[in-house]
Structure 1
Amino acid sequence: MKKLTIGSIQKCKSARKLVMITAYDAIFARLLSESADILLVGDSLNMSFGGNPDTLSITMDQMIYHTNAVCKGAPNTFVITDMPFGSYIDEVTAFSNAMKVYRETSADAVKIEGGADKAHLVHHLTSNGIAVCGHIGLLPQAVRAEGGYKVKGKTEDEALSLIADAQALEKAGAFILVIEGVKADVATRVAMSVSIPIIGIGAGNGVDGQVLVFSDMLGLYEPFVPKFVKQYMNGAAAVKEAAANYKTEVQNRGFPSDEYIY
């Protein structure tokens, strides 16, 4: 599949649904690249991959390490890297860290969380050659400040605020937005209010594409399954069964058989 560009991604608006999946390593990046238009190296890896309670403690260097792995595994797929918590507190810090991503990886863009309040940062980055994916709605990096993960768009004021956020980020130069944890009808209104693609996660079907964390989609993460996640396989059970079969064959001397001996 031919690698998408920013231009071809934007042409998908109202034309076809974009498929985004998270990836954290070369193995899964290679496997997922056959289906994904875009691979997102999400800071969610701090939870599913690192075992932490939220995304906040992951570092810039860790994000770069995983981004490099994903880019090597899927060199022909558009890759977006999450800017971690604290890495874009002002224009100077944001540009310094975004440049670090560009210099040390082959990522095509970076993603930052926040709405109109972050538009000046998006503008500064895009004005200096950095492609930016915005992220509005439920913001995982604000989980402690907000006291948990809370669905957005429950009131008309919240709906209008989300529309204003999307429009401000588009004006600032963001080429695409992720909208998370938002009432479906409101997410649809947000998508209709801008000319750039809106990728939903827990935001209904009226947007321009979808993103899921790969370990959720594959049923690998057992501790918690969000309401918006559809598991397309029971990966955890498959892995456990394979490991149990391996254990049995090792213990009864079934493996390695002559077929696997030099």
Structure 2
Amino acid sequence: MKHKQIIDKIGVGQLAQAIEEDLIRLINLTMSLKRGGSIKDIPSYVLPLLLTRWDCVLLAEDGIAIHYKEKVVLTLATLLHKYGLSDKIITDKAINAIDHLNEAVVLSDDFYRKSPQIKDLLLTKPLEWKRRPKIPKNTTFFRPNDIVSIKLDDKYYVAYIHELTGVNESPILEFYDSVFENKPAIEDITALKAKGEKYNDGKVRIAHFAIYGMKYQPDFANQVHLIRAGNLEMIPDNSHLEEAIGLFTVSDLFAIQKTIEKMFEER
């Protein structure tokens, strides 16, 4: 049994592609950090960042179909194993998901017949990934003037997309100055100003971020949500902030997690 065979039997190709693209970005980064001596252990760096994003599906209390959660956790376990990583909680959930998917007859007869082999593969120790995986092409399906929310742990942060880099490569975001307990609606952000980034000199400046890997709309990980498409009237007011340094900061869906925490820590 090969990893690709398992993915094919799950039958949600774009979901697998979304997870694999996330993994590849993280693995490339961590390989660089390990060679530079910044980190020693790849799994302990990759897994928390990856799961902060995909737990938006796995830990969702409503709005996500149970069989979709099962397909996500099985795909996660399979691709982690492919790239030499494993997480006992994810693997255990994936094994249970196989049984539940079979009980509900969600997938094919072939998946049912091959389930023991799938379990055997996931329970074996994965082989260490030796080479850098090829970085996926940067593409986004979000558009300028979209307003989005990004979920981080149990909070929601809202941002405005000013433009895209390159030819539909990555959205350039500016955050609104508010944190929400629940996914906000458009009326919740009508009067909000822009959130700036505080620099070492104490000045709070205009902050724009180019988010690579923010591709799919809707987001398979249930982390990024479109609140309003093409809204030209709600560009965040940043007139109270100091002038920006540079056009934007290059980031991605994992680096922005730490940036958000730092920007909003004083709230």
TM-score, normalised to structure 2's length? 0.28
Report 1 or 2 for greater relative contact order, CA contacts < 8 Å, sequence distance ≥ 6.
2
